Amino acid sequence: PCNLTGWWENDLGSRMHVLEVDGEGNFSGEYHTAVSSADKPIQPSPFVGSQHLDEDGQCTFGFTVNWKKFSDSTAVFVGQCFAGDKGDEVLQTSWLLREKVDSLHSDWKATR
């Protein structure tokens, strides 16, 4: 079965540390992004999430990252864990990033 606990790294060099997944599938940790358009220096950011605990181990999951230490944005990730060709675990994810804008008129450019 997929075990999200531990360190994960993506293709861009961002890393996340999942502290522990409890019996209900809830987890938290820190995300260390390697990319940002913020003016402030990048810092590790907290996240909370939930994993669907499946018997076959190829579970779905989602988590929210609060970039509050260096940005006014929030990101959500959803994904699934797969067994890789070499017996390793691979996370496939999609994400949305919401940046703060100054007005309702600017809402169209706030999510990517």
Is the residue at 26 inside a domain? yes
Is the residue at 112 inside a domain? no
Is the residue at 47 inside a domain? yes
Is the residue at 111 inside a domain? no
What average pLDDT does the chain have? 90
Q: For 68-112, how does the pLDDT look when each residue is reduced to its tens digit (9 = 90+)?
A: 988 889 999 999 998 877 878 899 999 999 999 999 999 999 998
Distance CA 78, CA 62 (A): 4
Q: For 54-80, how does the pLDDT look when each residue is reduced to its tens digit (9 = 90+)?
A: 777 678 999 999 999 888 899 999 999
Is the residue at 31 inside a domain? yes
Rounded alpha-carbon distances, angstroms, from residue 100 to 26, 105, 109 = 27, 12, 10
Global confidence as pTM: 0.87
Q: According to the model, what pLDDT value does residue 83 have?
A: 80
Q: What percent of the chain has pLDDT over 90?
A: 65
Q: According to the model, what pLDDT value does residue 1 have?
A: 66
Is the residue at 108 inside a domain? no
Q: For 2-11, how does the pLDDT look when each residue is reduced to its tens digit (9 = 90+)?
A: 889 999 999 9
Is the residue at 104 inside a domain? no
Query: By residue range, what is the domain housing residue 83?
Result: 6-99
Which of the listed ranges 12-16, 37-41, 69-73 does the model predict with the highest average pLDDT?
A: 12-16
Q: Say how many domains are in the chain.
A: 1
For the chain, give the longest Cα–Cα distance: 49
* Domain CATH for 95: 2.40.128.30
Is the residue at 109 inside a domain? no
Distance CA 48, CA 50 (A): 7
Identify which has the larger pLDDT, 104 or 36. 104
